[in-house]
């Protein structure tokens, strides 16, 4: 509604009800703010609540005074910049030139640029907003900070958002002063170096899940490939060779057949780079050589690949629950009952199929439950509560158990179908046989690494031993102690 859009981001009721924002001691350090937008109001609220005396400079102080905490002084820009040594510039880049009339009053002061460019502006301008501000005010010290913190985070407090505040400037003293303010406000300052790093700092809010790009494309690529493969086998082959229209399977049935394939292969791709890294270390006889870039990036994306595997497995479980609700499934049950009546079969029971489905479902539930535990422990709030041995046990040992359970789940689903000629439609093998290739390689390699002759050599390498080096390390004689060695 239009009247709702006119309301400020910061609630006046919130500001007035907090007694800590009502009055600030006179001896509190004074901070200036140029701007009266949402971010300026949130910043003033957080500064007042952190014990600072805030002076806000506005072009129309009478109109904007009611939007700020009562403890904050709202006045004209010329008066606001006269006494504070640290001044936050909370205006857009195109309005920087309007502040040039304050050059004399701002001389020698610290200007904290909190602005963010749009993606188009970031590509259009070669210099960052902070560098542009520094060129307009050469007698001032410009610090880039707080641009990655949203107005909502400032309003609600750092507990509800990212605590890190990247800070960069050419003057160490100015960075130290702003870092102390960030600590007083409950944030964690991160030194990003000189002001030349401001362009990189301003690009941070423009990124959209950069660590998820490659894993997402990988998952989508696998889904498209397996979906096309299942479409050819389950829909196109009956239509071409048997004149049966089964295109109704595309929305649910084919998707449900594809999702476990993607989840299973993604899970194996989580542990395949570790196998390759171990093989490289064994071949080189040292851990002090860098992995290839592609392997290094692969190792860094394992968390995202694992979470996407869990996501596909969870969707597969939901789709499986929906299968009996389909109208096609009901028709198949009715047709099966009619055929049984016409054939005078009063009892239909195949012992082998009953046992196969019972074991198949049980293994699937166990695999999904183990994947759920892996997904939960990958959350930062949970992972930070675990020590290294606990985290390694869950992510490495239980992860391998999840891969083995998924493999048994897939083998139980296939049973003897891989050896039946009728399952090879268009001479294409069943989909589950393709998905078993990578996981079986990983399981076989992991099993080989458990052999004493290989595991002990790998443990020595990871403790610093080198095959051709001058430094030699020996493992403890106690085998149980050697098993507790961190695989760094």
Alpha helices in 378-419, H assignment, sequence order: 380-383, 388-392, 399-414
What's the pLDDT score for residue 19? 40
CA distance 244 to 251: 17
Alpha helices in 285-398, H assignment, sequence order: 293-300, 302-322, 327-342, 351-377, 380-383, 388-392
Please say whether the beta carbons of 449 and 458 come within 8 A. yes
Q: For residue range 129-180, what is the model confidence (pLDDT) as tens digits?
A: 999 999 999 999 999 999 999 888 888 776 645 689 999 999 999 999 999 9
Domain co-membership, 248 together with 221: yes
Please report whether residue 478 resides in a domain: no
187: left (phi over 0), alpha (psi -120 to 50) or beta: beta
Please report whether residue 359 resides in a domain: no
Domain co-membership, 266 together with 161: no
Domain co-membership, 48 together with 189: yes
Residues of the domain holding 447: 210-348+416-467
Please report whether residue 358 resides in a domain: no
Domain co-membership, 69 together with 140: yes
Please report whether residue 179 resides in a domain: yes
Interhelix angle 253-284/213-231, nearest 10 degrees:
130
- Identify the CATH number of the domain in which residue 34 sits: 3.40.50.720
Domain co-membership, 185 together with 160: yes
Q: For residue range 428-477, what is the model confidence (pLDDT) as tens digits?
A: 999 999 999 999 999 999 999 999 999 999 999 999 898 875 444 455 55
Domain co-membership, 267 together with 304: yes
Please report whether residue 164 resides in a domain: yes
CA distance 64 to 35: 10
Please report whether residue 454 resides in a domain: yes
Please report whether residue 356 resides in a domain: no
Domain co-membership, 92 together with 141: yes
CA distance 317 to 310: 11
Residue indicated by tokens 């049984």: 340
Domain co-membership, 422 together with 327: yes
Q: Residue 169 phi/psi, 5° resolution?
A: -170, 160
Domain co-membership, 129 together with 254: no
pTM of the full predicted structure? Answer: 0.76
* Last residue of one domain, picked from the residues 203, 236, 264: 203
Domain co-membership, 250 together with 276: yes
What's the pLDDT score for residue 202? 95
* Last residue of one domain, picked from the residues 151, 182, 203: 203
User: In whole angstroms, how far apart are CA 218 and each of 225, 305, 308?
Assistant: 11, 9, 10
CA distance 166 to 204: 10
Compute the residue count for the chain.
488
What's the pLDDT score for residue 414? 92
Could you list the beta-strand ranges (E) of 177-305.
Answer: 188-191
Interhelix angle 293-300/253-284, nearest 10 degrees:
130
Q: State how many domains the chain has.
A: 2
Domain co-membership, 182 together with 242: no
* Last residue of one domain, picked from the residues 203, 227, 256: 203
What's the pLDDT score for residue 429? 94
Nearest to 264 by CA among 329, 206, 308: 308
What's the pLDDT score for residue 470? 41
The whole-chain average pLDDT of the chain stands at: 88
Please report whether residue 430 resides in a domain: yes
Query: Which residues of the chain register pLDDT less than 50?
Result: 1-24, 160, 470-473, 479-488
Task: At 79, list the tokens.
Answer: 């008066």
Domain co-membership, 186 together with 239: no
Nearest to 114 by CA among 68, 151, 156: 151
DSSP H or E stretch at residue 57? strand 53-58
């Amino acid at each position: 509604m239009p009247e709702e859009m006119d309301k400020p981001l910061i609630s006046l009721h919130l500001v007035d009800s907090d007694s800590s924002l009502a009055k600030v001691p006179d001896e509190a350090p004074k901070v200036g703010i140029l701007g009266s937008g949402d971010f300026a109001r949130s910043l003033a609220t957080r500064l007042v609540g952190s014990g600072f005396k805030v002076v806000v400079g506005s072009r129309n102080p009478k109109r904007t005074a009611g939007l700020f905490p009562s403890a904050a002084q709202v006045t004209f820009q010329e008066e606001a910049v006269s006494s504070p040594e640290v001044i936050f510039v909370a205006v857009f880049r195109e309005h920087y030139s309007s502040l040039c009339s304050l050059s004399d009053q701002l001389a020698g002061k610290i200007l904290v640029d909190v602005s963010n460019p749009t993606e188009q502006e970031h590509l259009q301008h070669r210099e960052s907003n902070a560098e542009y501000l520094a060129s307009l005010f050469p007698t001032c010290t410009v610090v880039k900070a707080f641009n990655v913190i949203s107005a909502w985070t400032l309003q609600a407090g750092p507990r509800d958002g990212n605590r890190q505040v990247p800070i960069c400037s050419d003057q160490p003293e100015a960075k130290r002063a702003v870092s102390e303010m960030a600590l007083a406000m409950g944030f964690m300052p991160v030194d990003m170096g000189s002001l030349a790093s401001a362009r990189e700092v301003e690009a941070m809010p423009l990124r959209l899940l950069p660590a998820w790009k490659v894993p997402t494309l990988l998952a989508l690529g696998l889904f498209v490939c397996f979906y096309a493969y299942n479409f050819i086998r389950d829909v196109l082959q009956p239509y071409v060779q048997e004149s049966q229209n089964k295109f109704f399977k595309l929305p649910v049935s084919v998707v449900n057949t594809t999702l476990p394939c993607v989840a299973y292969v993604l899970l194996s791709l989580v542990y395949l780079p570790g196998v390759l890294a171990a093989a490289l270390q064994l071949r080189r006889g040292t851990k002090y050589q860098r992995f290839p870039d592609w392997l290094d990036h692969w190792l860094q994306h394992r968390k995202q690949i694992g979470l996407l595997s869990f996501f596909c497995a969870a969707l597969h479980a939901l789709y499986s629950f929906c299968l009996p609700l389909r109208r096609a499934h009901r028709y198949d049950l009715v047709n099966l009952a009619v055929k049984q009546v016409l054939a005078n079969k009063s009892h239909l029971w195949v012992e082998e199929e009953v046992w196969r489905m019972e074991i198949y479902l049980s293994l699937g539930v166990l695999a999904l439950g183990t994947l759920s535990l892996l997904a939960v422990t990958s959350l930062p709030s949970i992972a930070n509560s675990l020590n290294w041995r606990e985290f390694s046990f869950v992510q490495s040992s239980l992860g391998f158990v999840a891969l083995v359970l998924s493999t048994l789940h897939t083998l139980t689903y296939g049973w003897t179908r891989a050896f039946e000629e009728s399952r090879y439609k268009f001479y294409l093998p069943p989909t589950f046989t393709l998905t078993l290739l990578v996981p079986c390689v990983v399981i076989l390699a992991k099993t080989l690494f458990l052999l004493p002759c290989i595991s002990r050599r790998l443990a020595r390498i990871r403790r610093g031993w080198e095959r051709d080096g001058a430094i030699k390390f020996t493992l403890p004689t106690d085998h149980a102690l050697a098993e507790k060695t961190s695989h760094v």
